[in-house]
């Protein structure tokens, strides 16, 4: 009997240890924010700009898009340290009229360029009905949806686009030539509701491949290729090769549509602004003598300039979509943006963000390099 009791105790203890080891680290929101700000300031970014960029990254983690939040801090730090991003850079207007503007981002942090450009588009939209800003000389600006929502919060329709490094492999090709080139749109509906569309034109963003590395999980079909243009399920191979399938995947599953959307984005972002095209920017390059020079587009539209009742009609669409009968009763139909809104509310209520253990380990290493206090987990 004693032996049996001891065996049960040992088994229970082992199970508890296994469960405990599988729990992902939890961090208070203010602690994540503090760490990000201090990292940026340690590389010469002003306190105000550090707060601006931290807010951008926190929004990604708040809404469950971990690939563009804390996961991206080291990426920005590397570019700041190499000189690929100018910590003191400031955007300027090169040309403008009542509704449009051409902006040079000054190679500043993406959040600084995005705030300047979208706020300019918002101002013009409120004055003329539409604001269209094409920006060159920018850097990675995080989640495209963040900028579209900046206009939506002002009662406007917002859109944001950016080109990026050549990660998308066009249909029938085996080398990347276009970027993940995300497309985002947000609009306000009646009753405080809204719609948010934010998607890359590749099957996934490269950050999602990075997250699979952190999780130690294989890639699903149709995400990435190896160096020979063959599908791979190894996230390390996919990340190293820098080759992503277009949205839709293979030609048989309409991958050419993602390719075309990315090409459309390229026209808006680099061709219109004079920035580098995606194929002119090597994947992973951080040469201060040859800055990223990303092209971006920020649009704000006043729906009041068109048919009355925009908010009510949008609210009706959102309600109709959500109330469609689901295939699985446990998985209700969502309107675009619902998943992010739900995740935001849960995170805000909890007051903490849950990360992969390897993500926290990586941040500890970064903290040591920069001489800042590492992230304190619960």
CATH of the domain at 159: 3.30.1370.60
Domain count, the chain: 2
| Cα gap 189→341, rounded to integer Å | 14
Question: Is residue 327 one of the residues assigned to a domain?
Answer: no
Mean pLDDT value across the chain: 92
Question: Is residue 215 one of the residues assigned to a domain?
Answer: no
Q: Do residue 177 and residue 105 come from a single domain?
A: yes
Q: Is the pLDDT of residue 8 over 60?
A: no
Model confidence at 307, pLDDT cuts 50, 70, 90, reads: very high
Q: Do residue 280 and residue 131 come from a single domain?
A: yes
Q: Do residue 126 and residue 257 come from a single domain?
A: yes
CATH of the domain at 368: 1.10.1530.10
| Cα gap 162→167, rounded to integer Å | 13
Q: pLDDT (tens digit, 9 = 90+) per residue, 360-378?
A: 999 999 999 999 999 999 9
Q: Do residue 116 and residue 159 come from a single domain?
A: yes
Query: Which of 137, 147, 165 has the alpha carbon at shortest distance from 262?
Result: 165
Q: Do residue 188 and residue 138 come from a single domain?
A: yes
Q: Do residue 70 and residue 97 come from a single domain?
A: no
Locate 185 and state its tokens.
């749109």
pTM across the whole model = 0.90
DSSP classification of residue 178: B
Please report, in angstroms and rounded to a whole number, the separation of the first and last CA atoms in the chain. Answer: 39
Q: Do residue 258 and residue 162 come from a single domain?
A: yes
Q: Which residues pair with 160 in a beta bridge?
A: 184, 298
Question: Is residue 5 one of the residues assigned to a domain?
Answer: no
Question: Is residue 342 one of the residues assigned to a domain?
Answer: no
- Confidence (pLDDT) at 16: 37
| Cα gap 218→221, rounded to integer Å | 9
Locate 321 and state its tokens.
């979509």
Question: Is residue 375 one of the residues assigned to a domain?
Answer: yes
- Confidence (pLDDT) at 23: 73
Question: Is residue 116 one of the residues assigned to a domain?
Answer: yes
Q: Do residue 119 and residue 172 come from a single domain?
A: yes
The DSSP element (H or E) to which 28 belongs, if any, is: strand 26-28
Cβ atoms of residues 333 and 326 within 8 Å:
yes
| Cα gap 323→196, rounded to integer Å | 18
Model confidence at 50, pLDDT cuts 50, 70, 90, reads: very high
Q: Is residue 229 left, alpha or beta, with left meaning phi > 0 and alpha meaning psi from -120 to 50?
A: left
Model confidence at 290, pLDDT cuts 50, 70, 90, reads: confident
Reduced to 3 states (helix: H, G, I; strand: E, B; else coil), residue 197 is strand
Reduced to 3 states (helix: H, G, I; strand: E, B; else coil), residue 200 is coil
Domain end: 286, 310, 334, which one?
310
Cβ atoms of residues 283 and 209 within 8 Å:
no
Reduced to 3 states (helix: H, G, I; strand: E, B; else coil), residue 104 is strand
The neighbour count for residue 221, using CB atoms within 10 Å, is: 12
Q: Do residue 54 and residue 199 come from a single domain?
A: no
The DSSP element (H or E) to which 63 belongs, if any, is: none
Q: pLDDT (tens digit, 9 = 90+) per residue, 344-364?
A: 999 999 999 999 999 999 999
Q: Do residue 61 and residue 106 come from a single domain?
A: no
Locate 297 and state its tokens.
């587009």
Q: Do residue 179 and residue 261 come from a single domain?
A: yes
Reduced to 3 states (helix: H, G, I; strand: E, B; else coil), residue 46 is coil
The neighbour count for residue 24, using CB atoms within 10 Å, is: 15
Reduced to 3 states (helix: H, G, I; strand: E, B; else coil), residue 57 is helix
What is the residue range of 271's domain?
A: 92-203+244-310
Question: Is residue 330 one of the residues assigned to a domain?
Answer: no
DSSP classification of residue 298: E
Q: Do residue 153 and residue 119 come from a single domain?
A: yes
Domain end: 264, 283, 310, which one?
310
| 83 CB-near residues (< 8 Å, 6+ apart) | 286, 288
- Centroid of chain to Cα 118: 16
Domain end: 281, 310, 339, which one?
310
Question: Is residue 221 one of the residues assigned to a domain?
Answer: no
Q: Mean pLDDT over residues 158-178, rounded?
A: 96
């Amino acid at each position: 009997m004693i032996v049996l009791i001891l065996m049960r105790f040992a088994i229970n203890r082992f199970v508890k240890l296994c469960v405990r080891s599988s729990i992902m680290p939890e961090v208070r929101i203010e602690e994540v924010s503090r760490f990000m700000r201090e990292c940026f300031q340690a590389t010469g970014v002003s306190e105000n700009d550090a707060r601006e960029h931290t807010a951008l990254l926190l929004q990604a983690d708040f809404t469950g898009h971990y690939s563009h939040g804390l996961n991206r801090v080291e990426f920005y730090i590397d570019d700041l340290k190499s000189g690929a991003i100018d910590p003191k850079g400031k955007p300027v207007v090169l040309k403008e009229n009542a509704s449009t503007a051409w902006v040079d981002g000054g190679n500043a942090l993406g959040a600084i360029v995005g705030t300047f450009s979208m706020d300019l588009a918002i101002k013009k939209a409120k004055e003329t009905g539409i604001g269209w800003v094409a920006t060159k000389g920018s850097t990675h600006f995080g989640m495209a949806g963040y900028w579209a929502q900046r206009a939506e919060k002002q009662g406007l329709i917002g859109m944001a686009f950016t080109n990026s490094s050549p990660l998308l492999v066009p249909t029938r090709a085996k080398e990347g030539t276009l970027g993940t080139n995300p497309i985002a749109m947000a609009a306000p509906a009646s009753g405080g509701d809204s719609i948010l569309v934010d998607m890359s034109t590749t099957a996934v963003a490269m950050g999602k491949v990075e997250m699979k590395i952190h999780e130690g999980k294989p890639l699903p079909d149709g995400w990435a290729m190896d160096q020979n243009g063959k599908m791979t399920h190894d996230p390390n191979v996919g990340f190293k090769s820098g080759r992503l399938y277009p949205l839709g995947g293979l030609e048989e599953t309409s991958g050419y549509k993602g390719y075309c959307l990315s090409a459309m984005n390229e026209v808006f972002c680099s061709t219109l602004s004079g920035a580098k095209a995606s194929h002119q920017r090597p994947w992973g390059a951080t040469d201060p003598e040859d800055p990223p020079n990303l092209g971006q587009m920020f649009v704000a539209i006043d729906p009041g300039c068109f048919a009355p009742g925009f908010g009510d009609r949008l609210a009706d669409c959102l309600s109709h979509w959500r109330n469609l009968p689901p295939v699985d009763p446990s998985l209700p139909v969502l309107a675009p943006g619902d998943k992010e809104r739900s995740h935001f509310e849960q995170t805000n209520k909890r007051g903490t963000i849950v990360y992969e253990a390897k993500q926290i380990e990586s941040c500890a290493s970064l903290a040591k390099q920069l001489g800042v206090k590492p992230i304190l987990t619960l």
